[in-house]
Homo-oligomer: A and B are copies of this chain.
Amino acid sequence: MEETGRIENFRRAAGLSDKPHQGFVFNDSDVYKWLEAAHTASQADVLTPELDSKLKRLTQTILSAQQPDGYLNTAFMFDEAPHRWQNIRDKHELYCAGHFIEAALASTNGALLSAAQHLADIICATFGDAPDQINAVPGHPEIELALIKLYRATGDRKYLDQAEYFINARGRGLIGAQTYHLDHAPFRELDRLTGHAVRALYLCAAAADLYAETGEPALLETLTRLWERAYTRQVYVTGGLGARHSGESFGQDYELPNAAAYSETCAAVAAICWNWRMLLLTGESRYADTLETTLYNAALAGISLDGDKYFYTNPLANEGGGTSSAHRRAHYFNCACCPPNIARLLAALPQYFITASEKTLSLHLYAAGEIHLPDFRAAIETGYPWEGQVRLTIHTAGAYTLRLRLPGWTRGDAQLFVNGDPREPGMGYAKLSEEWADGDQVDLHFPMPPRFIQAHPSVSENIGRAALARGPLVYCVEQTDPHPERLLVDTSAPVREVPANGMIHLALQAAVTPAGEAWGDELYQPAPPAEPVEASVTAIPYYAWANADPAPMRVWLKTQ
C-alpha cells in the first residue's frame, strides 16, 4: 500500500505530502481494511513489534488526515473537495467511511473511535429524507454494517436509524433502479440476489444486523428467501458466489460455469459475514455449514499457502497455461479489495468458532484450543479439518449447556459420546444440558470418508461429473499429464487418504481417455480406439491449488 500511494494519499490529506492523489477513489478502503485486520490482531496480541509500530504510525497519519468537520476521504480533498458527497452511488465515499468506522471499532484507540463517530455524525447529518439532506443510497453497501456496529458500541440510536434509512431508501430508484445495485425493488420485495455479488452480500449482512436490532419479521423473511434461493441455485460447491465476470455479478439460477467462474474472494468474505449473522439470528446449523464450506474453500483459495499472494477470482477449472494464460495469485491488484479483506477475515477468525450466552456454549467450527469464560473452561483437542475426532475436556464443575454443531456433510453419521457413553446426537446442533464435573470428556466423531458430490442436473457443465470432498474441504485435480479432462473417475472405487505437506491428499483411480498420436499441424484427426488405461491420480484441497507450477485444474471430474 506504500508502493501504490494508498498511504501517501493520507499523508497528502494530512498536509504531509504534496503528491497528487493516486489511484481509485476507493483506495482508502484498502488501508482501512488493513487497519481493521491489524487492530484485531493487535487485540489478540499477535502482532510483531514492527507491525505494531507500523500500525501506530498509520493510525496517527489517518487521524491527521481527518478534516476539522469530520470528513475523511483522501480522494475528495483540495481541488476535489467540492465534489464531496455528490455521487455516493459511484464514488464509494460511504463505502470507505464504513471501513474506517469498522477499523476504529476493532481498535482500543479512543482517538480513533472519536474520529469514527465524528465522521458518522456528519454522515447522519448529511443523508436522509429531510429537506436539507441528501436523499441518496450508497452504490456499494458497507456503511450500514459499520453504523449498526457503531450503534452497538455507543448505544446511540441515530446510527441504527441511519443504517435503516440507507437500507430502506434502496430500491426506490434513487440510484438508477438497476438490478446491478439491487435498486430495482425495495429490499423486502426482493426474491433473488442480482447484480454485483459483494454489494448484494454486504447489504444482506447489514439487513441481518438490522433485524437483530429491530426484529422486523419482513426482514428475516426476506433474508431467508434470498438465502434459500442463493444456496440452492446460485452457489458453487466451494461456497463461491457471483458467477459472472460481467458486472462481478450473480448469474441466472444454475448458471455456474467452472472455468469462467468469477467467485470473487471478497464475495466469499461477504458470504461468511452474512451467514454468520444468519447463524446468530436463528441458531440454524445450515448457516454454519455454509460458512464453513465458504471459509475452507472459496475464501481460503483467495490466499496462497505462503500467505502473500491473492486471487481476486476463484474459478473451478483452469487450463494452467497452454493456449490461455494460467490463473495465478498476484501479490496485489490495482483494485485491491480482496487482499485486505482476507486479512480482516483471518484476523477475526477466532470469533467464528464459539459463541456463549447465559450458561450456554455453542461450538460452530472446530479447531484445537482452549475455552476461557468467566464461568466455564474447557480444552478442545482435534485435528479438524483433517480428522473428524473432537474431544472437549471440561475443566469446570456445574450446570452448563453445550451446543455442538454436527456438520451437514456428515449427513446423520456424526457420533457423540459423554465420558465414553454414546448419546443420540440428533441433527444440526447436538445439545447437552448437564451437570459437569472437572475432567468430563465429550467426544464428537465426524466420519469423513472421501465423498463424491454431484450437482443438480440443471448445472449443465457438471452433467456426468462429480466433485470430490472430504470433511469440509472440496478437492481438485491439478496436473499436466494426463490432463484432468481425460480422467474418468469411478465413484464407487475406494479413495485413499495420503498425508502430504501438512494436508491430506486423496489418491484415486481413474480411467484415462486416449490422448491420440503426437499431434502435428492437423486440427482434427481420427480418434484412437478406446483402451482401458488406468491412472493413479492425486487430488489436493481446492484451497491449495495454483501453489505449484501451473497445470490444468478441475474441481468437477468426469465420471465413468
- List chain A positions with a Cβ less than 8 A from chain B: 228, 231-233, 235, 237, 252-255, 319, 322-324, 411, 451-460, 463-467, 483, 485-488, 490-493, 511, 513-516, 519, 521-531, 552, 558-560
Contacts and interface: CB of A to CB of B under 8 A. Distances in A.
Nearest to A452: B527
Contacts of A522: 232, 456
Given A253-B323, A454-B528, A527-B491, A560 B511 contact: yes
Given A231-B523, A463-B486, 8 more contacts: A232-B521, A237-B524, A323-B458, A452-B526, A457-B516, A464-B483, A492-B530, A558-B558
Q: Shortest 4 CB-CB distances between A and B: which pairs?
A: A492-B529, A463-B485, A452-B527, A454-B527
Nearest to A253: B323
Contacts of A492: 529-531
A252 B319 CA distance: 15
B456 A523 contact: yes
A522 to B, nearest CB: 7
Given A232-B521, A525-B454, A486 B460 contact: no
A458 B520 CA distance: 12
Contacts of A511: 560
B457 A483 contact: yes
A268 B485 CA distance: 30
Contact of A451 (B455, B459, B519, B526): B526
A233 B520 CA distance: 12
Copies of this chain, whole number = 2
Nearest to A237: B524
A454 B490 contact: no
A462 B135 CA distance: 54
B528 A491 contact: yes
Nearest to A512: B464
27 contacts: A232-B522, A252-B323, A253-B323, A254-B323, A255-B323, A322-B458, A324-B460, A411-B526, A453-B524, A453-B525, A454-B524, A454-B528, A455-B523, A456-B524, A457-B519, A463-B486, A488-B488, A488-B558, A491-B514, A491-B527, A491-B528, A511-B560, A513-B558, A513-B559, A514-B559, A530-B559, A560-B560
Contacts of A483: 457, 463-464
A231 B254 CA distance: 35
B491 A530 contact: yes
A398 to B, nearest CB: 41
Contacts of A464: 483, 485-488, 513, 558
